[in-house]
Amino acid sequence: MIETAATVVGWALLGAGAAFYLIGAIGLVRMPDLFTRMHAGGISDTAGAGLLIAGMMATAGLSLVTAKLAIILAIILFTSPIATHALAQAALHAGLKPALKSRRVLGPATGPHPFEEKAAKAAAPMGGRGAATRRRLKGAGR
Amino acid sequence: MFEAAALAVLAALAFAVYRALAGPSVFDRVLAGNFIGTGAILLLALVGFITDRPEFLDIGILYALLNIIGTLAVLKFWRYGDLSHAGDEEGRSR
């Protein structure tokens, strides 16, 4: 009885984990820039891997296998944020900027920081649209 | 059920391989490489369950330990061009 329950719970966890893992991988392909892709990859590394390993643990029962799976899960949960953080910091250091909605028409993220852009818009005489339109006419997006 | 989960992980790895090949920046490739490393760990564990050989889990632990080191090494090399670079306290090169 308990074994059947453990098997059913394990299957459910495995299914949910596989689904989350796939969703994160699809996000890895579909998302528009590096930082959103890292955000999508985080789903796979936490929810996906966690649920998959939890499902395997539930199926295996209490044994050495469960302990090893717990070790793997702990290593993944500790190192994945470190890797993500280092990646984001290295990308920012190299000059990659997050693509923001206001800048999507202008191509890849370059040019002034969004807050500076906002301040410039507020100060612009045409009240908002002027700065962006002028930049687009000049082709200064990149 | 393990087979289905392994297939899902394989499909996810295919997406990650696409991202690694398509880029566009080197950081996208590093991200995909890290993702593939995690996927390999999960695949190893699942294959261990499918074939009833728990030894695969030990290899999975090893891969998990190597994955982070590989990612950080590539990032450090890309930033300093040299793995023995010490960097200053804030991690800046100069």
Helix/strand/coil for A126:
coil
Cβ within 8 Å, pair B8-A21: yes
Same domain, A22 and A76: yes
Looking at chain B, the whole-number percentage of residues with pLDDT higher than 90 is: 56
Same domain, A25 and A69: yes
Total number of domains in chain B: 1
**Highest mean pLDDT: which range of A21-35, A104-118, B77-91:** A21-35
Question: Which run of H or of E encompasses A103?
Answer: none
Nearest Cα to B64, choosing from B88, B43, B91? B43
pLDDT at position A102: 62
Residues of A in contact with B2 (CB under 8 A): 14, 56
Is B71 among the domain residues? yes
Is B24 among the domain residues? yes
pLDDT at position B30: 92
CA distance A60 to A46: 21
pLDDT at position A117: 53
Is B91 among the domain residues? no
Contact between A79 and B67 under an 8 Å Cβ cutoff? The reply is yes
CA distance A51 to chain B (A): 11
Total number of domains in chain A: 2
Across the A:B interface, residue pairs with CB atoms under 8 Å apart total 133
In A, minimum Cα distance to B70 occurs at A83
Interface probe, candidates B46, B57, B77, B78, chain A, greatest A C-beta count within 10 A: B57
Is B15 among the domain residues? yes
Same domain, A79 and A111: no
Contact between A57 and B42 under an 8 Å Cβ cutoff? The reply is no
pLDDT tens, residue by residue, A98-135: 877 665 555 555 555 555 555 555 555 544 455 555 55
Contact between B19 and B39 under an 8 Å Cβ cutoff? The reply is no
pLDDT tens, residue by residue, A35-78: 999 999 999 999 999 999 999 999 888 888 899 999 999 999 99
Q: Is the pLDDT of residue B21 over 50?
A: yes
Cβ within 8 Å, pair B8-A18: yes
pLDDT at position A33: 87
- pLDDT range class, residue B51, cuts 50, 70, 90: very high
Q: Is the pLDDT of residue A15 over 80?
A: yes
Same domain, A79 and A126: no
Helix/strand/coil for B55:
coil
Same domain, A79 and A105: no
Cβ within 8 Å, pair A91-B42: no
pLDDT at position B80: 80
Same domain, A9 and A44: yes
Contact between A41 and A7 under an 8 Å Cβ cutoff? The reply is no
In B, minimum Cα distance to A38 occurs at B31
| DSSP label at residue B94 | -
Same domain, A27 and A49: yes
- Record the pTM: 0.76
- pLDDT range class, residue B79, cuts 50, 70, 90: confident
* A124 phi and psi angles, rounded to 5 deg: -70, 140
CB-closest option in B1, B42, B75 to A49: B42
pLDDT at position A127: 47
Residues of A in contact with B60 (CB under 8 A): 68, 72
- Which residues, at least 6 apart from A74, have a Cβ–Cβ distance to it below 8 Å? none
* Torsion region of B71: left, alpha or beta (phi above 0 gives left; psi -120 to 50 gives alpha): alpha
CA distance A86 to A93: 10
Other CB atoms within 10 Å distance of the CB of residue A134: 12
| DSSP label at residue A13 | H
Is B93 among the domain residues? no
